Amino acid sequence: MPFVNTRCLAPMLCATFMMLWSAGVSAQSESGPVTITEPVSEQFRLLLTDPRIQTALTAIEASEPETLAEQVRLTEIPAPPFQEQRRAEYYLQQMHDRGLPDAYIDTEGNVIGIRRGSGDGPLFVIAAHLDTVFPMDTDVSVEIRDGRYYAPGISDDGRGLTAVLTLIDAINASGIETVGDIMFVGNVGEEGPGDLRGVKAIFRDFPQIDGFVSIDGSGVTRITNGGTGSRRFAVEFTGPGGHSFSAFGLVSATHALGRAIAKIGDLQVPEQPRTTFTVGTVSGGTSVNSIAQDAMFELDMRSNDAAELAKLEAQVREVVQLAVDEENARWNVDGGSEKGQITVNFRLIGDRPTGTTSPDHELVQVAALAFAAVGSPVQGLQTSSTDSNMPMSLGIPAITIGGGGSGGGAHSTEEWFDPTHAHLGPQLAFLLTLALVGVQGLTEPQL
């Protein structure tokens, strides 16, 4: 029998949830249905029908203009990887102003604020990343055109950072006491060369974390419950070098590099699990009339499966060494070393682990219920490379969600954000967080 909530202060949310709950509550995804168990459904029903929750959901929607204004302010503080300090200091002040006086910046540069629960519940982390892909001298001024907000990083992850701040406001304003502890994080190092250094430090320093959610970008449509792993190397070739004419016959670092790239290009990888590779940058040599002494390329390898990623790396190492051997044999008679030889070194520059959170886990179930409750049923589960990779690889339940609204042009100077229905993102995060940590006297933690 479906429940009837006569005190619902957000009728659309309640009506949507009641319809799904009374029908058995199942959300479809690209990877199959997210089946909601009865205990999880019942706890979420109790949460959603509480008047404090309904008041908070209404307040989140009403506060969206200020949320958007904060998003603009954050976006206009540049924060390239390894240069996030100015934005981190601003973010720390925002946490202090929102009732987290003990918030601090850790040794890695992460901003961390903890809201304590009753002391006998789980430790839950909800995070967004401080860094962007853009150099420090990029113009990050926000421009409004036809209702859209344009600026590098406005969605990724200006929206996520702002949604976390709105979440802090909403929980504190509600007066709700939680069972579990909530750790709010603005972390460094999610993008590119950052190599997840922020979340790696968090899970190093807090091994007792029970669950993790990152808010990354815009939208309220999909749950990222899988982590695409990557291994990145600077592959460095070194040889004797010399004059192009008088020293002709010496081995060449750039020739060895070329042989290696050609062999890598001929490798075959499976379509499923999705596995990819690319040589992204190439450098080396000193002049057009020199036999190159040094050369280097940067290689990116990715897979949704750890075993396939390891297999690909082994193949790459094999063919690169073969290319070096061929270069040495070509110019040194009988493979001799009297003229010097090429050597190669693989220098690791990126290591993102793979991982998965089961669609059956309570974290995913609660997320599906929260999506439905805000009127945007989850459209699919997906695998991607996000901060959630790290906890997933450790066996800690984790997912990544969007922060509301919609966006496009990510990682370009024409990145944009459309604030239509943007309040759904913080509402989603609010329901998800409280369901996972539990509300004292009302619900049990789902972590």
Decide if 3 is inside a domain: no
* Domain end among 336, 352, 368: 352
Q: How far apart are CA 285 and CA 258, in angstroms?
A: 13
Q: Looking at the structure, do residues 217 and 237 belong to the same domain, yes or no?
A: no
* pTM reported for the whole predicted model: 0.90
Decide if 277 is inside a domain: yes
Q: Looking at the structure, do residues 89 and 212 belong to the same domain, yes or no?
A: yes
Q: Comparing C-alpha atoms, which of 200, 236, 255 is closest to residue 390? A: 200
Decide if 4 is inside a domain: no
What per-residue confidence (pLDDT) applies to 331? 87
What per-residue confidence (pLDDT) applies to 339? 72
Decide if 118 is inside a domain: yes
Q: Looking at the structure, do residues 148 and 23 belong to the same domain, yes or no?
A: yes
Q: Looking at the structure, do residues 70 and 146 belong to the same domain, yes or no?
A: yes
Decide if 137 is inside a domain: yes
Q: Looking at the structure, do residues 163 and 252 belong to the same domain, yes or no?
A: no
Q: How far apart are CA 198 and CA 143, in angstroms?
A: 30
- The number of CA neighbours under 13 Å toward the Cβ of 330 is 16
- The count of structural domains within the chain is 2
On the 0-12 / 13-18 / 19+ scale of CB atoms within 10 A, 119 is exposed
Q: Comparing C-alpha atoms, which of 435, 414, 284, 445 is closest to residue 370? A: 435
Q: Looking at the structure, do residues 89 and 209 belong to the same domain, yes or no?
A: yes
Q: Are 130 and 187 in contact (CB under 8 A)?
A: yes
Q: Looking at the structure, do residues 150 and 91 belong to the same domain, yes or no?
A: yes
Q: Which CATH number does the domain housing residue 314 bear?
A: 3.30.70.360
Kindly report, residue by residue over 355-370, the tens digit of the pLDDT. Answer: 999 999 999 999 999 9
Q: Looking at the structure, do residues 27 and 152 belong to the same domain, yes or no?
A: yes
* Domain end among 294, 318, 352: 352
Q: How far apart are CA 390 and CA 227, in angstroms?
A: 8
Q: Looking at the structure, do residues 332 and 391 belong to the same domain, yes or no?
A: no
> Given the structure tokens 């695409």, which residue do they identify?
228
Q: Looking at the structure, do residues 37 and 179 belong to the same domain, yes or no?
A: yes
Q: Looking at the structure, do residues 70 and 116 belong to the same domain, yes or no?
A: yes
Q: Looking at the structure, do residues 193 and 127 belong to the same domain, yes or no?
A: yes
Distant-in-sequence contacts of 17-23, Cβ < 8 A, 24+ apart: 17/45, 17/48, 17/369, 17/372, 17/373, 20/369, 20/372, 20/377, 21/45
Decide if 46 is inside a domain: yes
Decide if 445 is inside a domain: no
What per-residue confidence (pLDDT) applies to 8? 45
Q: Which residues of the chain have pLDDT under 50?
A: 1-10, 16, 19-32, 334-336
Decide if 114 is inside a domain: yes
What per-residue confidence (pLDDT) applies to 33? 63
Q: Which CATH number does the domain housing residue 376 bear?
A: 3.40.630.10
* Domain end among 352, 372, 404: 352
Q: Are 408 and 146 in contact (CB under 8 A)?
A: no
What is the span of the domain harbouring residue 78? 11-228+355-437
